């Protein structure tokens, strides 16, 4: 079967090359965005903010609620818990400062991620696979097997739990990637567990003085979280010749409990849908952007919100971000907490698990909050 081709400033671009990634296209030299990456007009990040209600310029940014992790561990914990709950209810996002992860751990992870994408394509493509359960995946777009329009992103996904099982399959080039990424994953997992402990407390489902460990939901949840899944995703958004025609990632929500995102502090890109419009999240030095995932919205019975977000690209700089996605184990069932259900506030969501998520996005793709919407009872 012949491959479809298009002319791009005199160069023939084979459709098969799209599946090799944006980095591969850029390394070949392009001056226009190939048609496969051009979004419909209604979905483009228009610079006309009055017409599209999109905040794109640097003076139209969103300052997310700031949670000081050090204060969360101290005498101000009750007050910080209230701020945490409000951030999860009103924004679905917050910035986490004084998180305790050493700056050198973060810098090393950013460096090794960037160096991986600078490797020759022949080295990167060793990890390309359509298997979404693979412990390591290199790919492009969002779901290249289903996306009608490709987004301007390449990614490296590393499954991190259990770490001893998955670590040997991670890339051995750069030579320090396994050591650096393993250290980073362990540090972010500990941070996530402490954050989830605070979130359970803010929801009112954490027992302060349990009489029987086996009988308390919060203790069962703590064990489930400890044994839960973690995936570290290194995202690469190459400089784009026509950034107003495409997106680094389309509007979506994250499937899990919490995502801890390390932004590129030098280049803006992340946008959150808040107050009925798209607003750019202003990077805050030495912080994580933390957002509520679909599973946490389900567990909270809709009290905490999994919010749409997307990523813009720019014409001058390659942008790297690192997301640590956390949830329960792949075979666990997520359901609204019984403590958040009563006659006045019945359950709003069906039980779900990771297998349901994989089946859904494999069959219909992942767009907006379509998976979460499929789990709603009302």
pLDDT above 90 (res 58): no
Report residue 154 as tokens: 């390449």
From its phi and psi, is residue 301 left (phi > 0), alpha (psi between -120 and 50) or beta? Answer: left
CA distance 232 to 171: 13
pLDDT of residue 16: 60
pLDDT above 50 (res 10): no
**Mean pLDDT value of segment 225-238:** 95
pLDDT above 90 (res 60): no
pLDDT above 80 (res 364): no
Q: Give Cα separations from 193 to 163, 269, 333 (angstroms).
A: 16, 27, 18
**Mean pLDDT value of segment 144-150:** 79
Q: Give Cα separations from 14 to 18, 34, 36, 243 (angstroms).
A: 8, 10, 11, 21
Whether residue 26 is contained in a domain is answered as: no
Residue labelled with tokens 């160069």: 11
Of the pLDDT bands very low, low, confident and very high (cuts 50, 70, 90), residue 363 is: low
pLDDT of residue 247: 96
Instruction: Report pLDDT digits (tens) over 175-184.
Output: 999 999 999 9
More confident residue, 358 or 183: 183
pLDDT of residue 108: 98
CATH number at residue 353: 2.60.120.330
pLDDT above 90 (res 5): no
**Mean pLDDT value of segment 120-125:** 95
Whether residue 9 is contained in a domain is answered as: no
Of the pLDDT bands very low, low, confident and very high (cuts 50, 70, 90), residue 269 is: very high
Q: What residues make up the domain containing 257?
A: 51-374
Instruction: Report pLDDT digits (tens) over 17-33.
Output: 667 899 999 998 899 99
Q: Residue 261 forms beta bridges with which residues?
A: 289, 323
**Mean pLDDT value of segment 65-87:** 96
Whether residue 15 is contained in a domain is answered as: no
CA distance 336 to 66: 27
CA distance 182 to 266: 25
The answer to whether 320 and 235 are in contact (CB under 8 A) is yes
pLDDT above 80 (res 187): yes
More confident residue, 79 or 130: 79
Helix (H, G, I), strand (E, B) or coil at 315: coil
pLDDT of residue 367: 62
Whether residue 127 is contained in a domain is answered as: yes
**Mean pLDDT value of segment 114-137:** 92
Whether residue 209 is contained in a domain is answered as: yes
pLDDT of residue 53: 41
Q: Please, is 271 exposed, middle or buried when counting C-beta atoms within 10 Å of its C-beta (0-12, 13-18, 19+)?
A: buried
pLDDT of residue 368: 66
- The number of residues making up the chain comes to 378
Whether residue 14 is contained in a domain is answered as: no
pLDDT of residue 365: 58
The answer to whether 292 and 195 are in contact (CB under 8 A) is no
For the chain, percent helix, then strand, then coil, each to nearest 5? 35, 20, 45
**Mean pLDDT value of segment 363-372:** 69
Instruction: Report pLDDT digits (tens) over 288-330.
Output: 999 999 999 999 999 999 999 999 999 999 999 999 999 988 7
CA distance 304 to 256: 13
CA distance 37 to 246: 6
Of the pLDDT bands very low, low, confident and very high (cuts 50, 70, 90), residue 283 is: confident
Whether residue 34 is contained in a domain is answered as: no
Q: What percent of the chain has pLDDT over 70?
A: 86
Overall domain count for the chain: 1
pTM of the model: 0.89
**Mean pLDDT value of segment 177-202:** 97
Whether residue 41 is contained in a domain is answered as: no
């Amino acid at each position: 079967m012949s491959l479809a081709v298009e002319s791009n400033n005199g160069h023939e671009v084979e459709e098969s090359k799209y599946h090799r990634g944006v980095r591969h296209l850029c390394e070949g030299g392009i001056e226009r965005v190939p048609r496969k990456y051009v979004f419909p007009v209604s979905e483009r990040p228009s610079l006309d903010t009055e017409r599209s209600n999109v905040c794109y310029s640097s003076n139209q940014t969103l300052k997310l609620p700031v949670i000081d992790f050090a204060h969360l561990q101290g005498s101000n914990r009750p007050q910080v818990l209230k701020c945490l709950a409000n951030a999860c209810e009103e924004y679905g996002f917050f910035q986490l400062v004084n998180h305790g992860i050493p700056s050198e751990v973060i810098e090393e992870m950013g460096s090794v991620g960037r160096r991986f994408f600078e490797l020759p394509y022949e080295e990167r493509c060793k990890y390309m696979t359509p298997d979404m359960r693979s412990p390591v995946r290199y790919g492009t777009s969002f779901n290249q097997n289903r996306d009608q329009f490709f987004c301007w992103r390449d990614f490296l996904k590393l499954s991190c739990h259990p770490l001893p099982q998955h670590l040997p399959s991670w890339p051995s080039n750069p030579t320090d990637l396994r050591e650096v990424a393993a250290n980073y994953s362990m540090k972010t997992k500990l941070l996530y567990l402490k954050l989830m402990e605070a979130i359970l407390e803010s929801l009112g489902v954490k027992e302060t003085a349990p009489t029987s460990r086996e009988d308390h939901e919060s203790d069962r949840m703590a064990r489930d979280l400890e044994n839960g899944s973690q995936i570290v995703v290194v995202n690469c958004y190459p400089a784009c010749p026509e950034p107003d025609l495409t997106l680094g990632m389309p509007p979506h929500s994250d499937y899990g409990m919490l995502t801890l995102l390390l932004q590129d502090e030098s280049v803006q890109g992340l946008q959150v849908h808040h107050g009925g419009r798209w607003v750019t999240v202003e990077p805050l030095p030495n912080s994580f952007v933390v957002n509520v995932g679909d599973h946490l919205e389900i567990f909270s019975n809709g009290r905490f919100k999994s919010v749409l977000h997307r990523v813009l690209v720019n014409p001058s700089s390659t942008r790297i971000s690192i997301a640590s996605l956390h949830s329960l184990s792949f075979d666990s069932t997520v359901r609204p907490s019984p403590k958040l259900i009563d006659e006045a506030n019945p359950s709003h969501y069906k039980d779900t698990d990771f297998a349901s998520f994989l089946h859904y996005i494999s069959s219909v793709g992942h767009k907006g909050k379509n998976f979460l919407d499929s789990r709603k009872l009302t």
